[in-house]
Amino acid sequence: MPLFEYRCQACEQEFEVLVRASEKPACPKCESTKLEKLISAHAAHVSGGLSMSAACPPSDAPPCSPTCCRLP
């Protein structure tokens, strides 16, 4: 079962949920099924304890989002 991130269009709650192919997820706060699937940034672990996001843009590109790994 893959783990997906969603934002509820009814109450703006963001959450993660394990979803089977035949299931339709619902918001845990208001139980609405009007959801927006978010793009997940997968994290990679490298030796030395550093954490990097596989979704980061190249260093010469502008930041990709408010949660971009290159923002201060």
DSSP string, 7-38: EETTT--EEEEE--TT-----TTT----EEEE
In angstroms, the Cα distances linking 30 to 5, 8, 15, 35 are 16, 9, 12, 11
72 within domain boundaries = no
44 sits in which H/E element: strand 43-46
Residue 12 lies in a domain: yes
pTM of the model: 0.53
69 lies in a domain?
Answer: no
| Parent domain of 34 | 3-40
pLDDT in tens, 1-56: 578 899 999 999 999 998 888 888 999 999 999 999 998 665 444 555 445 545 56
